[in-house]
Amino acid sequence: MSTPANAGRAPRSSRVRRTIAAVLLGTTVLTGPFLIANQSTAAAAESALTQNMLSQNAPGSFADLAAKVSPAVVNVSTTQQAKAERGTPRMPGFPPGSPFEEFFRQFQDQFGQNGGPGGDDQSEGPSEGQPRGKVGSLGSGFIIDAAGYVVTNNHVIDGADEIKVTLQDGTELPATLVGRDAKTDIALLKVKSDKALPALDWGDSDAARVGDWVMAVGNPFGLGGTVTKGIISARGRDIHSGPYDDYLQLDAAINRGNSGGPTFTLDGRVIGINTAIYSPNGGSVGIGFAIPSNIAKQVVAQLKENGHVERGWLGVKIQEISPEIAESVGLSQSKGALVAEVTPDSPAAKAGVRQGDVILAYGGKPVNTLRDLTRRVADTKAGDTVDMTVVRKGKETTLTAHIAPLPAEQRMAAAEGTGPAAESAVETVKGLKLAPLDGAARSRLGLGEGVKGVVVTSVSPQAGDLPVRPGDVIVKVGDHSVTSPAEVTKSLHEAEKDGRKAVLLLVNRGGNESFVPLKLGKA
């Protein structure tokens, strides 16, 4: 449907009437003309400033930049043997119902790979449960070293039997996998070429600001080298794809097939690796995510040297500091990482870190969020010594930890607890019905003998929105361990007498411990 050239414009007569009305309105007040003149001058000055900023920061064309960097951007194609799975597979690393999980599932169904804005499948779909034969997919990558090292996303090459890199001039080169890191979704490939290969340089993603111009280059939908431009829309995005999420959000058009491709600053340096998009329909809606270069280059350096990534390990389970928790532990701001659990014989335990401590700084750098601590610990080399600033009972102290290598991940069994606990010695306080943690309750909740505390058997609807639920075990109230409902009641009443507005409860839920703030002052 075409739109007339003058569609949306008012008729000339009505525009004239509005103009006249505006002039008349301006002259009905004695100071009106002066105000209008001053406003016009200010508006003109602001417009001139804006134009000056645009002329300095926005290029008239991205052509020179595209010509400079595009030769080092490649297409990555893979083939693999696969079988169709029965049922709907879970996408690892994404919570059920996540829009990213649904997008990755659509990608797998359509293109035969797990991943972000991945590639283009050339195979035909077989009947369920039957061999699929060879499945192909296309993604993007870029040459980071003239020796032939190519960076891409792990999900682009995951499960591939063969990997091929295609240069801008059409040259096809077989690639070998040097190493990959699923936690950051980065893979490093190696190709051999008889001619010199162009290579790109890393930029400084920490220096990138919201609003900065960027340009993305990739292979959307298998079409070949494609350039799009936009700005950095946000920083530090957590899309729940892994423990080290710290994405740059971009509004440059990124689609399937762009995965693994680079995003550039205006000086032609790689600021990020395009990895995922938010999309209700599978296409770009202007919300794309790129791995920051300062994370990527450390991972790539380790993959190049060792073929794998070795991360530091502190040995704590941490949680966010909410305003209620901050108030409960005597902090003026909701910053830091609350230690919910310390692993026995870990670097944290040996350093003297305790459950309930708040880590405010690590290695001399402030810890404002959980990801600050997670990323910095991961970037620390095993064997390094690091000082931490910790708040304990309202006082700051410095602890020194000797960081160890991250051990193999252990699976923890969690059991859902249902049914009422023993009714003996039951008490009700703050809308919580409490009972002792006896043998029968342990069996129902799937808890071992090492867990001590008081069971929450029910929560009063009149108590409002409380942070605990039936089946939780209250282990501590503030700094006091509790083993009976009476001790919980006593500790809460003492906190109220001290004038506290909230108190921290250490709660064991399904075998996992965490702190939750309970507001006081209500019956």
Give residues with Cβ within 8 angstroms of 231, minimum separation 6.
210, 211, 212, 213, 214, 250, 251, 252
* Whether 149 contacts 178, CB under 8 Å: yes
Asked if 245 is an active-site residue, the reply is no
Any idea what the Cα angle at residue 213 is, between residues 212 and 219, rounded to 5°? 130
Q: How many helices (H) and strands (E) does the chain have?
A: 11, 27
At 76, the amino acid letter reads V
* Whether 510 contacts 417, CB under 8 Å: yes
The SS3 of residue 474 is strand
Asked if 402 is an active-site residue, the reply is no
Asked if 259 is an active-site residue, the reply is yes
The residue from 185, 245, 251, 357 that is catalytic is 185
313 - beta bridge partners? 404
The residue from 137, 205, 241, 259 that is catalytic is 259
* Whether 262 contacts 225, CB under 8 Å: no
The residue from 77, 120, 137, 155 that is catalytic is 155
Type and span of the H or E element at 103: helix 99-111
Query: Which of 462, 445, 442, 456 lies closest to 488 in space, CA to CA?
Result: 456
Alpha-carbon distance of 264 to 168, in angstroms, equals 17
* Whether 503 contacts 430, CB under 8 Å: no
Handedness of CA 343, 345, 351, 353 (dihedral sign): positive
Alpha-carbon distance of 299 to 306, in angstroms, equals 10
Alpha-carbon distance of 124 to 77, in angstroms, equals 17
Show which residues are catalytic.
155, 185, 259
